[in-house]
Chain A
Amino acid sequence: MATPPIAPATPDPRNATIGSGKRAVQITAQQVQPPSPLYLQVEDNLICSIYIPTASTPVYVYLMLRWLRPDGEIVSIRKTIPTQVGTITNYPFTLGEGFLLSAAFNPIGLSFNDWGKIYASLTIQRDLPEGGSFFWQLFGDYATTFHYPTWPYGRNIQPQDAAGRIRSITGSTPAVGAEINEVVPSQVRWSLLSFRARLTTSAVAANRKPDLLIDDGANAFYQAGNGNSLTASITWGTTWANTGYAGAASTSADNTAPLAPLLLEPGFRIRTQTLSIDAGDQWQAPQYLVQEWIAV
């Protein structure tokens, strides 16, 4: 039996060589100058500042650095930084004399997939008698397990310049006869998108009229309801949202009320105020949706 002819080999398009002309640029291979504009001396401190205002436990983060020493050696450095819950962590350190080639901030071992939980910055401060003299901010950005603030080529933004993190929050169930009270936490800014709460009324006859009231910690600047009266012995929910419409939902014992788009600073309060509330009425825990920025 005759052997079939072998087809000529075709070039693999994935590994084809791309032709090019002779280079005009020559690369120096000896006495190479540092490829970094960032020359640091022993008096220069690097300060990594970390903000995780709503973390439930302290966490550790990495700061990864590539450092060119005066003798020409490039060393990789990993700084492990413990953070504080609910406050700012400032971690100063010095590397001596040399050139910083790169820096990257890594949140590790955390569920930071939700963008917007942690913000970090890296600055340079000279060892001067007067404090607060910063020479350069290298990066300032939110971090996740998939996005690392870096220098160079990273972003340098204020926390409020970003898109904001979407959070659905379960609030406190007040005691019987008491009103709902939610407070914007320290070091965050909220945009309140919707707020839903249910009131179970006692057997005492009265027309309850629940309002949502927002204040700056002392003085109210917003109050809205929908005018509906809640009678005795019922459970009725109200959703405040940016609908511009007040009325009853079609498929449940809920109704809607308008909510203006408001930006709320730390310490601002979101409360209910119920006309003719009875000592036996019970508000359930509210559920609300906010857009959150770290505010520092």
Chain B
Amino acid sequence: MTNTCNSCGATYTPIQRDGSRYFHACGPIPNPAYQPDATQAKFDPRVTIERPNKRDENITGTDPVTQQPIMVSAGLGTTVTTQGA
């Protein structure tokens, strides 16, 4: 199965080949207020900021009522793009 993150557009397989779970997290995005300096050859001076509606599937704890794990941030959710084992 392949998921597409509705927040950042990344695609990923939620279950790895070894049966372990993969926890997707959206990466930061370029800060529109600070564009890269193309004149510098070696170091990219880009400054990043966190994506609005960022998704982070890592677990922060357990819901005291439902006892279900709570992820850091659901963001805009995911779309299943490929079904399968």
A49 to B28 alpha-carbon distance, docked (Å): 35
Contact partners of A187 in chain B: CB under 8 A: 59
Indicate with 1 or 0, residue by residue over A250-290, a CB within 8 angstroms of chain B CB atoms.
00000000000000001101010111100000000100000
Name B1-53 residues within 8 Å CB distance of A: 5, 8-29, 36, 38, 40-44, 46
Chain A residues with a Cβ under 8 A of chain B: 53-56, 84-87, 111, 114, 117, 167-176, 178-183, 185-187, 209, 211, 227, 266-267, 269, 271, 273-276, 285
With A172-B12, A266-B58 as contacts: A275 and B27 at CB distance below 8 Å: no
Smallest beta-carbon distance A209→chain B, Å: 7
Residue of A nearest to B24 (CB): A172
User: Is B77 among interface residues, defined by CB-CB distance under 8 A?
Assistant: no
Cβ-defined contact, B59 with A117, below 8 A: no
Residue of A nearest to B28 (CB): A181
Contact partners of B62 in chain A: CB under 8 A: 84, 87
Chain B residues with a Cβ under 8 A of chain A: 5, 8-29, 36, 38, 40-44, 46, 56, 58-62, 67-69
User: How many residue pairs at the A-B interface have CB separations less than 8 Å?
Assistant: 108
* CB contact between A183 and one of B8, B23, B36, B60 (< 8 Å): that residue: B23
Cβ-defined contact, A183 with B56, below 8 A: yes
With A87-B62, A178-B27 as contacts: A111 and B19 at CB distance below 8 Å: yes
Cβ-defined contact, A117 with B25, below 8 A: no
Q: List 15 A-B contacts (CB under 8 A).
A: A56-B15, A56-B19, A85-B21, A86-B21, A87-B61, A87-B69, A169-B22, A172-B10, A172-B24, A176-B9, A186-B23, A186-B59, A209-B42, A271-B27, A275-B36
Cβ-defined contact, B67 with A55, below 8 A: no
Cβ-defined contact, B13 with A170, below 8 A: yes
A77 to B49 alpha-carbon distance, docked (Å): 55
With A211-B44, A271-B27, A276-B38 as contacts: A170 and B19 at CB distance below 8 Å: no
Cβ-defined contact, B10 with A84, below 8 A: no
With A174-B10, A178-B8 as contacts: A54 and B58 at CB distance below 8 Å: no
State the majority secondary structure of interface residues on A.
Answer: loop
Contact partners of B21 in chain A: CB under 8 A: 54-56, 85-86
Interface pairs A-B: 10 shortest CB-CB: A181-B27, A175-B9, A86-B59, A172-B12, A54-B20, A183-B25, A172-B10, A275-B44, A56-B21, A186-B58
Contact partners of A54 in chain B: CB under 8 A: 20-21
Smallest beta-carbon distance B32→chain A, Å: 14
Contact partners of A180 in chain B: CB under 8 A: 27
Contact partners of A271 in chain B: CB under 8 A: 27-28
Smallest beta-carbon distance B78→chain A, Å: 11
Contact partners of B42 in chain A: CB under 8 A: 209, 227, 275
Residue of B nearest to A176 (CB): B9
With A84-B62, A273-B44, A275-B44 as contacts: A172 and B11 at CB distance below 8 Å: yes
